[in-house]
Structure 1
Amino acid sequence: MQELLEKNHVSSAELETLLKAREEGKVDFLLIDVREDMEYNMGHIKGVDMLRPTSTFQQWAQEIFDSYKDKTIIFTCRTDNRSGQVQQVFAQNGHSKTLNHIGGIVSYRGEIEK
Structure 2
Amino acid sequence: MDEVCEDEWSDEAMMNLVKTVTRSCEVSGEELHVMLNLRAQKKLDFVLIDIREMHEYSQSSIKGTDMLLPTSTIHQHMEELKKLSGKLLIFYCHVGGRTSQMIFILRRMGFSNIAHLSGGIDAFHGEKLKNAPLPKNTRS
Verify same fold: TM over 0.5: yes
> 1:22-101 alignment to 2 at 5 Å?
22-64=39-81, 66-101=82-117
Q: How many matched pairs?
A: 113
Equivalent pairs: percent with the same residue? 39
Which is worse superposed, 82-91 or 34-43?
82-91
The corresponding residue for 1:4 is 17
Normalization by structure 1: what TM-score? 0.93
Q: Quote the RMSD (CA, aligned, Å).
A: 1.0
Q: Report the residue type matching 2:18 in the other structure.
A: L
Aligned to 1:105: 121
| Corresponding letter in the other structure for 2:71 | T
SS of 1:86's partner is helix
Q: Which runs of 5+ in 2 are unaligned?
A: 1-13, 131-140
**In 1, distance between residues paired with 2:91 and 2:101?**
10
Larger radius of gyration: 2
Residue identity matched to 2:92:
T
TM-score (norm 2): 0.77
Structure 1: stretches of 5+ with no match in the other structure:
none
- Distance, in Å, in 2 between the alignment partners of 1:62 and 1:82 is 20
Partner of 2:35: 18
CA contact (8 A) 1:32 1:48 kept: yes
Give every structure 1 segment of 4 or more consecutive aligned residues whose post-TM-superposition deviation is greater than 3 Å. Answer: none
CA contact (8 A) 1:4 1:10 kept: no
Contact 1:2–1:27 (8 Å) recurs in 2 = no
